[in-house]
Amino acid sequence: MRALVLGGLLAAVFVAAAAVSFVWTPGDVTAVDIANRLQPPGGSYPLGTDHFGRDLVSMVMVGARVSIAVALVAVGIGMGLGVPLGLAAAATRGSWLDEVIMRGNDLVFAFPALLIAILITAVFGPSALNAIIAIGIFNVPVFARVTRGAALSLWTREFILAARVAGKGRIRISVEHILPNVANLLIVQGTIQFSLGILAEAGLSYVGLGAQPPTPSWGRMLAEAQTMISFAPHLALVPGLSIVLMVLGLNLMGDGLRDLLDPRVRKARA
Amino acid sequence: MLRYGLRRAASMLVSLAVASVVIFCAIEVVPGDPAQYMLGLNASPDTVAALRAELGLDQQPVTRYMSWITGMLRGDFGISYTYRTPVAQMVADRLWISLPLALYALILSTAIAFPVGIMAAARRGSVVDMGVIGATQLGIAVPNFWFAMILVVIFAINLGWFSAGGFPGWEGGLLAGIKALTLPAIALALPQASILARVMRSALIDTLGEDFVRTARAKGLSRRQVLWRHALRNALIPVLTIIGLQFSFLLAGAIIIENVFYLPGLGRLVFQAIAARDLIVVESVVMLLVFAVILVTFLVDLAYAWVDPRLRGAR
């Protein structure tokens, strides 16, 4: 429970910062202010400024927006496609459909998110949208597997048998009975994939495959900081620590949620 | 076991075939004219036509796919458009950095994770265990490329123990090569070691709760003897699977780390190829990496089935 609260608080700080950045930031993230470039943290710039004189608090706030949006939509894509596929595979266990879905999953697993992003970028050029698609595609088999695994054990339960006897079809049973019972697991997995998405987005932006200038992103802030790290370490510390704290918060939240929602873990602890 | 192996091999071949079609379609068919893309919008139609003929783009997609695949099987990956050298040669040169880097990181990750995971499981609930849980939680949250930058600041810029980047080449001596790969390998290994230590810890805790452990203790074996003689060997099965899977991730993850340390490996090659619109190189490197991931997964499956016979009959 402590992990859930601590993790939730950490994540909430960044989500709130991202939300506030839509209406207000302390400075303009696109304005150049050479007179105040590379200011160390303190005074009117609590986290300092970058090589263009942009306020790092504002950059982190807008960067959080990009990271969260990319990771969230990618989780949405993963869930939106993966969950129905997992439900269908479980409902038709052993059939050709199950086989095709699971082998398709194996295939997507062979393309780590970075490789998908490289392929997409090679074809369409780098953008935040391509990062979303790459991370989203990578999420699909994860959700399909989790859903199928959990749904398979549910299909042998008596309440499902009762629903079948009552004349309900496979699709209706999957939607009305299986889905609500795997929802907890999906929430936990969603939190984990969300944190992995933040890391993946940062990695893709770092190598220039994510959001493009002038939109600030944590990964690109790190890439820009690399050549100046010896004389302006705050440029690398600020976005780096933001990623660590956000991911740590989400991971703690995931652990806490699993303890709270997953009956197997609850039972093991009791 | 043989039947299981053959079934998995067939499945691997199908995966490879489908992956190759996906990569081929993504690069050569979907975006329109690769020759136009490579030369840019201002290229004259004659130049584009000449490049199309040179790349064989005037042929049917099926013919091009077949010649690409049969070429790759023979070790002929085509000629790089920018460098004008065989892609196979470029890939082979770069592989001598990326492959040792991934292996080095894997060795480091295992060397860190095993003692840490075992120590935490053996003293479950203690301060040590809590410390390991906290540290591994943090290790998973740290992006490896950021950790790499911090390592450079501490060990290259401030202490001067390692160089901040670049690779002297294996001709410069084994030790110099290993030294140049040490910081990148540590950066790559940290998150993987954290994951592996957690898996090791939970697998060992699960095994220590099994009946056969209780029986061994009842026979008079000490906790330490039970841990080393019985529990550890049984806990290794899930751990070995994760190690196998991590190798693929390390190979792909090296792409980013190579950029932090300016290592001339496959990762640098693929990004340079993207920047230069050298699609043939991108296509070949991605196919090679996907092949590596599928092959490692296949070997892990085989090893797992060899250790645990129950899996051979599983779907």
Residues 136..175 of B with a Cβ closer than 8 Å to A: which?
Answer: 137-138, 140-143, 145-146, 149-150, 152-153, 157
Number of structural domains (chain B) is 2
Give CA–CA dist B255/A163, Å, rounded. Answer: 50
Give CA–CA dist A118/A134, Å, rounded. Answer: 9
At A21 the three-state DSSP class reads coil
> Looking at the structure, do residues B43 and B178 belong to the same domain, yes or no?
no
At B79 the three-state DSSP class reads strand
Distance from CA of A268 to the nearest CA of B (A): 11
> Looking at the structure, do residues B43 and B145 belong to the same domain, yes or no?
no
A97 CB-contact burial (10 Å; exposed 0-12 / middle 13-18 / buried 19+):
middle
**Residue pLDDT, tens place only, B115-143:** 999 999 988 889 999 999 999 999 999 99
User: How crowded is residue A265: how many other Cβ atoms within 10 Å of its Cβ?
Assistant: 14
Assigned token pair, B231: 């529990």
Q: In chain B, what residues touch A229 (CB-CB under 8 Å)?
A: 149, 152-153, 157
Q: In terms of DSSP H, where are the helices of A21-173?
A: 56-91, 96-109, 113-124, 128-155, 158-165, 170-173
Give CA–CA dist B68/B23, Å, rounded. Answer: 11
> Looking at the structure, do residues B293 and B146 belong to the same domain, yes or no?
yes
Q: For the packed helices B232-260 and B279-307, what is the interaxial angle rounded to 10 degrees? A: 170
Residue with tokens 């501490």: B154
Q: In chain B, what residues touch A244 (CB-CB under 8 Å)?
A: 138, 141-143, 146
Q: Is the Cβ of A240 closer than 8 Å to some Cβ of chain B? A: yes
> Looking at the structure, do residues B50 and B98 belong to the same domain, yes or no?
no
CB pairs under 8 A between A and B: 117
One-letter amino acid of B205 = I
With 80 as the cut, is the pLDDT of residue A268 above it? no
Domain containing B232 — which CATH number? 1.10.3720.10
CB contact under 8 A, A244 and B153: no
Domain ranges of chain A: 2-22+66-269
The confidence band for B315, taking pLDDT boundaries of 50, 70 and 90, is very low
User: Domain limits at B56?
Assistant: 2-73
One-letter amino acid of A156 = T
CB contact under 8 A, B253 and A114: yes
**Residue pLDDT, tens place only, B265-290:** 988 888 888 877 788 888 888 898 88
The answer to whether the CB of B176 falls within 8 A of the CB of B122 is: no
Name the region of A128 (left: φ>0; alpha: ψ -120 to 50; beta: rest). Answer: alpha
Lowest mean pLDDT segment, chosen from A138-142, B58-62, B87-91: B58-62
Give CA–CA dist B222/B220, Å, rounded. Answer: 6
**Residue pLDDT, tens place only, B8-21:** 888 888 888 988 99
Give the residue from A67, A103, A118 with the most B CB atoms within 10 Å of its CB, the best one to mutate: A118
Q: Which of B62, B108, B128, B55 is nearest to B280 (CA)?
A: B55
> Looking at the structure, do residues B228 and B112 belong to the same domain, yes or no?
yes
Q: How far is CA A117 from CA A141, A207, B26, B129, in A?
A: 16, 11, 12, 38
One-letter amino acid of A260 = L
Q: In chain B, what residues touch A120 (CB-CB under 8 Å)?
A: 26
* Closest CB from B26, B150, B256 relative to A119: B26
The answer to whether the CB of B282 falls within 8 A of the CB of B23 is: no
Assigned token pair, B210: 């099994």
Of B73, B105, B123, which one is at a domain's C-terminal end? B73
Q: For the packed helices A234-261 and B127-141, what is the interaxial angle rounded to 10 degrees? A: 120
Average pLDDT, whole number, for chain A?
Answer: 88
DSSP A183-245: HHHHHHHHHHHHHHHHHHHHHHHHTT-SSPTTS--HHHHHHHHGGGTTT-THHHHHHHHHHHH
Q: What average pLDDT score do residues A157-166 get?
A: 92
Closest-CA residue in chain B for A223? B260
> Looking at the structure, do residues B65 and B127 belong to the same domain, yes or no?
no
Q: What average pLDDT score do residues A54-73 get?
A: 92
Q: For the packed helices A218-225 and A234-261, what is the interaxial angle rounded to 10 degrees? A: 150
Q: What average pLDDT score do residues B207-212 get?
A: 87
Assigned token pair, B245: 């899977």
> Looking at the structure, do residues B166 and B246 belong to the same domain, yes or no?
yes
Q: What average pLDDT score do residues A187-212 get?
A: 90
Give CA–CA dist B306/A199, Å, rounded. Answer: 35
The confidence band for B32, taking pLDDT boundaries of 50, 70 and 90, is low
Q: What average pLDDT score do residues A114-122 get?
A: 78
Give CA–CA dist B18/B21, Å, rounded. Answer: 5
> Looking at the structure, do residues B146 and B59 belong to the same domain, yes or no?
no
Q: For the packed helices A179-206 and A234-261, what is the interaxial angle rounded to 10 degrees? A: 170
* pLDDT for position A263: 61
Is the domain covering A2-22+66-269 a CATH 3.80.30.20 domain? no
Q: How far is CA A24 from the centre of its chain?
A: 24
Give CA–CA dist B246/B239, Å, rounded. Answer: 10
pLDDT over 90 percentage in chain B: 29
Q: Count the alpha carbons within 13 Å of B108 in the hemisphere toward its beta carbon.
A: 20
**Greater model confidence, B1 or B32:** B1
Where is mean pLDDT largest: A28-37, A244-253, B51-60?
A: A244-253
CB contact under 8 A, A103 and B253: no
Lowest mean pLDDT segment, chosen from A92-106, A219-233, B42-56, B186-200: B42-56
With 80 as the cut, is the pLDDT of residue B1 above it? no
Q: In chain A, what residues touch B270 (CB-CB under 8 Å)?
A: 118
Q: What average pLDDT score do residues A254-260 get?
A: 86
* pLDDT for position A236: 92
Q: Is the Cβ of A120 closer than 8 Å to some Cβ of chain B? A: yes
* pLDDT for position B236: 80
Can you give the pTM of this predicted structure? 0.87
> Looking at the structure, do residues B120 and B173 belong to the same domain, yes or no?
yes
Question: Angle at CA B120, nearest 5°, toward B115 and B126?
Answer: 145
> Looking at the structure, do residues B49 and B188 belong to the same domain, yes or no?
no
Q: For the packed helices B232-260 and A179-206, what is the interaxial angle rounded to 10 degrees? A: 40
The confidence band for A171, taking pLDDT boundaries of 50, 70 and 90, is very high
The answer to whether the CB of A75 falls within 8 A of the CB of A205 is: no
> Looking at the structure, do residues B179 and B253 belong to the same domain, yes or no?
yes
Q: Is the Cβ of B259 closer than 8 Å to some Cβ of chain A? A: yes
Lowest mean pLDDT segment, chosen from A23-32, A127-136, B114-123: A23-32
> Looking at the structure, do residues B105 and B206 belong to the same domain, yes or no?
yes
Backbone angles phi, psi at A93, to 5 degrees: -45, 130
Interface confidence, given as ipTM, is 0.88
The answer to whether the CB of B219 falls within 8 A of the CB of B225 is: no
B/e letters for B251-270, b = 16+ CB within 10 Å, e = fewer, are bbbbbbbbbbbebbbbbbbb
Structural domain contains residue B273: yes
The confidence band for A262, taking pLDDT boundaries of 50, 70 and 90, is low
Structural domain contains residue B79: no
Residues 269..298 of B with a Cβ closer than 8 Å to A: which?
Answer: 270-271, 273-274, 279, 282, 286, 289-290, 293-294, 297
Give CA–CA dist B28/B55, Å, rounded. Answer: 11
With 90 as the cut, is the pLDDT of residue A8 above it? yes
**Positive or negative, the Cα torsion across A98, A139, B72, A122?**
positive
